[in-house]
Amino acid sequence: MRAISPIPVSVLTGFLGSGKTTLLNRLLKDSALRDTAVIINEFGDVGIDHLLVEQSSDGVIELSDGCLCCTVRGELVDTLADLVDRLQTGRIKSLARVVIETTGLADPAPVLHAVMAHPVLMQNYRLDGVITAVDAVNGESTLDHHEEAVKQVAVADRIVLTKTDLIDPASKEFALFTARLMRLNPGAPQISSHDEDEIVAKLFDCGLYDPATKTADVALWLRDEAYHSHHHHAHDVNRHDARIRAFTLMHEKPIDPEALEMFIDLLRSSQGERLLRMKGIVALADDPDRPVVIHGVQSIFHPPARLQGWPDDDRRTRLVLITRDLDESYVSKLFDAFAGRPQIDTPDRQALQDSPLSIPGYKP
C-alpha cells in the first residue's frame, strides 16, 4: 500500500431550491475538478438528485437511504474509508478531493464530525471547507422561516449566491440581504454563482494550508478582521439571526497549554451545541515560536496542529467563533479567566477548576 497525503473534503450545502445541483453541475465541468469524487445524498427511498448530475461516473456516489445528518452517517464513513482503500490499493489512480453534497434540510455539522472525529478518516482526509448555496431571490424568506438555512449560512466558509441573474444587484433589497448574510457569517466571502472568473479557485482550497505553497495561510483561513469589524451590529429579535453571534477573541501573551486545554474542554462540554464553529491560532507558553492551530465544530475538535512558525508578524492568539444562543460575554469571561486576566467580581482559573460553571451568564 502507498501512503497518501490528506485528501481535502468540501461539503456543499444549502436549503431546498437553493441551486446546489446546478452549481455542482457547473463545477464538475471544470477541469480543475477532474480527479474529484462526489458523494450525493438524496432524502427518500428513490434517488432523484443524482439523475440531475450530468457527470455520472464511478466518481459519483449516491447515498439514497436518508439524510446525511442522521441515518446514513455510518454509510458516509464507510464510503470515505472505501475511497481511501481503493486509492491505497491502486484501484483508483488519483483522488484530488472529495465533495459531499447534502440535502437541503441537512445540518452540516454531523458531516463535518464524520471527517474530524473518526480516527482513521482524520489521518487520510482534511476538511477544506463548507460551501453554502443561498438563493438570492428567495433567500430572505428562507432565512426568516427556516433555522436550518440560518445554520447552513453560519457554518459556511464560502457563501455562493445563486439566481443573481434574476434580481437587481444594485437594489436596496439585495444590499440588505447580503448585509444580513455578512452579520450571520462575517468570515465567509460571498460569491455569485454567475461569476465566470475562476469560481473553482474561489470556492475550494479554503482550508488552513495553501495547496500550492504547502504553507499555512492563517489570514485567509481565519479572516478574523472580518469578525472583528462586524460583530457589534444589532440583531432583529424577530429573526432566527438573533440567535447567531459571530465574534473574535484575542490575547497578546502566550497562554499556558493546560489553561487552553481546560478552556476548550469546558466550553465544548458545557456549550457544545451552541458552539457552531471555532477556529484559532494560539501562542502557547511552552513554545511561543510555533503556534498551535485549533478547529472545532460544536463539541468536536480536530486534534491541535503545530505550525513550524508564525506565518506573519502578527503573533497574537486569535480565536474566531460563531455561536447560537451563546452570549459573547460568557465566552470572553471564560477565556479571560483561563488566560490569566480575570475581570473584577469574576472567577479566576483556580475558581473555575473548583467550580467550572461559576462564570455569570452560563445557561444550562
Give me the pLDDT at residue 142, please: 93
Which sign, positive or negative, has the C-alpha torsion 191, 192, 193, 195?
negative
Nine-digit cell at 362? Answer: 452560563
Tell me which of 95 and 231 has the higher pLDDT.
95
CB within 8 Å of 113: residues ≥ 6 apart: 297, 298, 300
Give me the pLDDT at residue 155, please: 92
Tell me which of 19 and 48 has the higher pLDDT.
19
Lowest mean per-residue pLDDT among 71-80, 113-122, 264-273, 288-297:
71-80
pLDDT tens per residue, range 131-178: 999 999 999 999 999 989 999 999 999 999 999 999 998 999 999 999
Going by pLDDT thresholds of 50, 70 and 90, the confidence category of residue 45 is: very low
Give me the pLDDT at residue 67, please: 55
| Backbone φ, ψ for residue 66 (5° rounding) | 160, -175
Going by pLDDT thresholds of 50, 70 and 90, the confidence category of residue 66 is: low
pLDDT tens per residue, range 296-326: 988 888 888 888 899 888 899 999 999 999 8
| Proportion of the chain above pLDDT 70, given as a percent | 78
pLDDT surpasses 80 at 352: no
CB within 8 Å of 358: residues ≥ 6 apart: 347, 351, 352
| Average pLDDT for 250-269 | 90
Give me the pLDDT at residue 333, please: 86
Q: How do 36-41 and 60-63 pair as beta strands?
A: parallel
Work out the number of other CB atoms within 10 angstroms of the CB of residue 4. 13
Give me the pLDDT at residue 364, please: 46
Do the beta carbons of residue 133 and residue 13 sit within 8 Å?
A: yes
| Average pLDDT for 187-203 | 85
| Average pLDDT for 168-195 | 92
Tell me which of 156 and 242 has the higher pLDDT.
156
Going by pLDDT thresholds of 50, 70 and 90, the confidence category of residue 69 is: low
Do the beta carbons of residue 189 and residue 159 sit within 8 Å?
A: yes
Mean pLDDT of the chain: 81
Going by pLDDT thresholds of 50, 70 and 90, the confidence category of residue 219 is: confident
Tell me which of 75 and 158 has the higher pLDDT.
158
pLDDT surpasses 60 at 265: yes
Distance CA 328, CA 334 (A): 10
Work out the number of other CB atoms within 10 angstroms of the CB of residue 168. 9
Q: How do 275-282 and 317-324 pair as beta strands?
A: antiparallel
pLDDT surpasses 90 at 196: no
pLDDT tens per residue, range 78-137: 888 888 888 888 888 888 889 998 877 778 888 888 888 888 888 899 889 999 999 999
| Proportion of the chain above pLDDT 90, given as a percent | 32
3-state secondary structure the chain: CCCCCCEEEEEEEECCCCCHHHHHHHHHCCHHHCCEEEEEECCCCCCCHHHHCCCCCCCEEEECCCCCCCCCHHHHHHHHHHHHHHHHCCCCCCCCEEEEECCCCCCHHHHHHHHHHCHHHHHHEEEEEEEEEEECCCHHHHHHHCHHHHHHHHCCCEEEEECHHHCCCCCHHHHHHHHHHHHHCCCCCEEECCCCCCHHHHHCCCCCECCCCCCECHHHHHCHHHHHHHCCCCCCCCCHHHHEEEEEEEECCCECHHHHHHHHHHHHHHHHHHEEEEEEEECECCCCCCCEEEEEECCEEEEEEECCCCCCCCCCEEEEEEEECCCHHHHHHHHHHHHCCCCCCCCCHHHHHHCCCCCCCCCC
Do the beta carbons of residue 208 and residue 221 sit within 8 Å?
A: yes
pLDDT surpasses 70 at 242: yes
Give me the pLDDT at residue 161, please: 96
Give me the pLDDT at residue 237, please: 45
